[in-house]
Amino acid sequence: MRRVRRTNRVIVAAVGLAATSLLWTAPPASAASGCSTSSSDFDRDGTPDVAVGVPGGAGRNGAVQVRLSNEGEPITTTVTGAPGFGTAVTSVSSYAGAGDDELCSQLVVGSPDESTRAGLRRSGAVHVYAWDAAAQRFVLRGSFAPQARGVQGTAQSGARFGAALAAEQRPAGTTGPSPARLFVGAPGTDLGGFPDTGQVTSFWVDAEDDPLAHETELTRLGEPLTDEPTPRAALGSSLSVADGVVAMGMPGFPTRGQAGAGAVLVDLVDGGPDDPNALVLSQASAGVPGSPEKGDRFGASVHVVPGPAGQRPTVLAGAPGEDVGEAADAGSVTVARISPDLEVSGAARTVHQDSAGMAGSVEAGDQLGAAVSSARYGSSTVYLVGAPGEDVGTVRDAGMVQTIGTGKGWTQSSAGVPGTVEPGDRLGASLGGSPATGATRSSVGIPGEDASTGAVLVGLPGGGRPVSYLKGTQVGNRFGFTVAP
């Protein structure tokens, strides 16, 4: 395991790069909070909602479809944008005081293929919406990108700002006035002439009518984390935040010189100069099984699971390109508990489909670990993993979602799962609905369903309620490319 000083994170002041760390200061506390619902409850009726990314592509516009529980009479509402809009989706709070209730659970949409500035291509933007209960629609509060609305950094062609999103999630009933920090991945960012090093930008959004971003922090590679801004590391390809810890995937990082072996940067959300150093988690870390190999793509997916009270969380990292024996790209997932000083606590474990407690069997191209999440299942929290390249019988790439350690896994041929297995469904390519967002049911994307019309499963068989099946409306638009929160 390599340790780095915190200075890999650049805290940017309004007037440019600051060499010293500035402690984040929250706005003044207000007397009471109105945020009584969870961060996945956009319409604030007390029941979690489901947001589905429909990024379109190939010239087709993107969208996000949100199923609102609406006090027992569910409604579906759609926000639309440029091609690629909906590649990433999350929720974030801008609540600052009384009267800000509609800012408790805002919808955040990444649109990495659009440009907000003339002369740039695929620089990317992030759009923040609040649910207007009277108008019964999501209203755009503002669009955020480097050099726009107070976001520091430099807009850049091909950066793909908004390709991944994560935010501090607010459990129901918390009364803290602190706004939540939003993390935005821009994996195509070039640094110092090194292509696609990647970068993660974080900030919080205020509650004003004309909202601005504040306290921008940029996480980037380079001294002293790496000798130079590693080309093609693609930092910010995946993101997850929980329990004050942020995990940032860089699946192209050349761990031990192996191209595309991958790694995950694990850091504190609000780290200061006296806090522990960031952790570079990889298959070269002490206590982590396996070894870095070309094309493992460790960190292509990440998920942070909150730990017991007073303890740091567990990080799940998918390596869908991991070869298992002779099986190329069978994939694996590493489960690492993170200690309070940001080190791997004890021995991490790495599982593949031939490991004890795992459904299926190792085959080339399974791509286990393309997505990772967690879910409530019965009375416990389980780790969820997608294997979108899983063949079901002779049906190629139908996909499977499975748990770690329980032996349970589901395809569209499993009892209680709607739909049928077809080639290229890619069930499990995306996962959402983790308990940390207040969600009570998991969401499983099937973006290849029916000629990439796409579909989403809500809930799991045996989870106490029938599994719901949501489907897209247009061929090729990839409904379920991402599911959130």
The minimum distance between CB 187 and Ca ion, in angstroms, equals: 21
Shortest Cβ distance from residue 268 to Ca ion (Å)?
27
**Of the ranges 75-83, 88-96, 247-255, 421-429, which one interacts with Ca ion (CB under 5 A)?**
421-429
Judged by beta carbon, residue 196 or residue 293, the one nearer Ca ion is 293
What does the alpha-carbon distance between residue 375 and residue 406 come to, in Å, rounded to a whole number?
A: 13
Nearest to 354 by CA among 331, 377, 372, 334: 331
49 binds Ca ion, rule: CB under 5 A: yes
- In the numeric block, the tokens 């619902």 are attached to 37
CA pair distance 95, 101, nearest whole angstrom? 7
CB of 420 to Ca ion, least distance (A): 5
Burial 123-133 (b: 16+ CB within 10 A, else e): bbbbbbbbbee
- The nearest distance, CB 152 to Ca ion, in angstroms, is 34
Instruction: Spell out, one character per residue from 449 to 478, where the chain touches Ca ion: x when CB under 5 A holds, - when not.
Output: x-----------------------------
Site for Ca ion in 225-284 (CB under 5 A): 283
Residue reference for tokens 């094309």: 295
What are the CA-CA distances from residue 367 to residues 73, 482, 485 (Å)? 38, 17, 23
Which strands, in side-by-side order, build the sheet including 332-337?
A: 301-305, 314-319, 332-337, 349-351
Q: Which is nearer to Ca ion, 247 or 421 (CB)?
A: 421
CA distance 484 to 442: 9
Q: Is 419 in the site for Ca ion (CB under 5 A)?
A: yes
Q: Smaller CB distance to Ca ion: residue 266 or 387? A: 387
**Mask of contacts with Ca ion, 54-93, x by CB under 5 A?**
---------------x------------------------
In the structure encoding, which two tokens stand for residue 285, read together?
């870390």
217 versus 293: smaller Cβ distance to Ca ion: 293
Structure-block tokens of residue 13: 């002041």
- Collapsed DSSP state (helix, strand, coil) of residue 76: strand
Q: Binding residue for Ca ion (CB under 5 A) from 2, 45, 355, 469? A: 45
x/- binding map, residues 378-407, to Ca ion, per CB under 5 A? ------------x-----------------
Residue 450 DSSP class = H
Compute the distance between CA of residue 46 and CA of residue 222 in angstroms, rounded to an integer. 44
- CA atoms of 264 and 219, how far apart (whole Å): 12
Of the candidate residues 168, 196, 267, 422, the single one contacting Ca ion (CB under 5 A): 422
217 sits near Ca ion (criterion: CB under 5 A): no
Cα–Cα distance between 265 and 255 in angstroms, integer?
A: 12
- Per-residue string for binding with Ca ion, 290-319, x by CB under 5 A? x--x--x-----------------------
CA angle centred on 148, ends 145 and 151, rounded to 5°: 70
Considering only 39, 47, 77, 442, the residue that binds Ca ion (CB under 5 A) is 47
Is 154 exposed, middle or buried (CB count within 10 Å of its CB: 0-12, 13-18, 19+)? exposed
Distance CA 4, CA 279 (A): 7
44-52, 59-67, 161-169, 433-441 -> range binding Ca ion (CB under 5 A)? 44-52
**Closest distance between Ca ion and the C-beta of residue 456, in Å?**
12
Query: Binder to Ca ion among 6, 12, 38, 43 (CB under 5 A)?
Result: 43
Provide the binding-site residues for Ca ion, judged by CB under 5 A.
41, 43, 45, 47, 49, 69, 283, 290, 293, 296, 322, 353, 360, 363, 366, 390, 412, 419, 422, 425, 449
